Amino acid sequence: MKKLIALALACMMLVGMTACGGSSKNKLVLSTYGLSEDISAEEVYGPFEEQADCEIVTETGTTNERYTKLSANANAGIDVIELSQALTAQGADEGLFAELDLSKIPNAENLIAPAKELAENGQGIAYTINSVGIVYDREACGMEITSFDDLWDAALEGKIAIPDITTTFGPAMVYIASDHAGVDITTDNGAAAFEQLAALKPNIVKTYSKSSDLVNMFTSGEITAAIIGDFGVPVILGANPELTYIAPTGTYANFNLLNIPKNAENMDLAYEYINYRLSEEVQKNNVAVLNEAPTNSTVTLTDEEAATLTYGDTAANARVLDFTFVNAQLESWIDQWNRTLNS
> What's the whole-number mean pLDDT along residues 97-123?
96
Residues 28-47 have pLDDT tens digits of: 999 999 878 899 999 999 99
Element (DSSP H or E) covering residue 227? strand 225-229
What pLDDT does residue 24 have?
Answer: 67
Residues 44-61 have pLDDT tens digits of: 999 999 999 999 999 999
Question: End-to-end CA distance of the chain, in Å?
Answer: 87
What pLDDT does residue 15 have?
Answer: 44
Q: Is the pLDDT assigned to residue 8 strictly greater than 70?
A: no
Distance of CA 57 to the CA centre of its chain: 21
SS3 343: coil
Q: Is the pLDDT assigned to residue 306 strictly greater than 90?
A: yes
The b-or-e profile of 281-302 (16+ CB within 10 A means b, else e) is ebbbbbbeeeebbbbbbebebe
Residues 154-165 have pLDDT tens digits of: 999 999 999 999
Exposed/middle/buried for residue 176 (C-beta within 10 Å: 0-12, 13-18, 19+): buried
Give the chain's domains with CATH numbers.
24-129+254-320 (3.40.190.10), 132-252+322-341 (3.40.190.10)
Contacts of 110 (CB under 8 A, 6+ apart): 278, 280, 296, 297, 298
Q: Is the pLDDT assigned to residue 212 strictly greater than 90?
A: no
What pLDDT does residue 19 have?
Answer: 41
- Going by pLDDT thresholds of 50, 70 and 90, the confidence category of residue 18 is very low
| Cα–Cα distance measured from residue 96 to residue 59, given in angstroms and rounded to the nearest whole number | 17
Kindly report the pTM of this predicted structure: 0.86
Mean of per-residue pLDDT scores for the chain:
92
- CB atoms near residue 267 (< 10 Å): 16
Q: Which of 22-36, 234-248, 269-283 has the lowest mean pLDDT?
A: 22-36
What pLDDT does residue 65 have?
Answer: 94
Output DSSP code: residue 97.
B
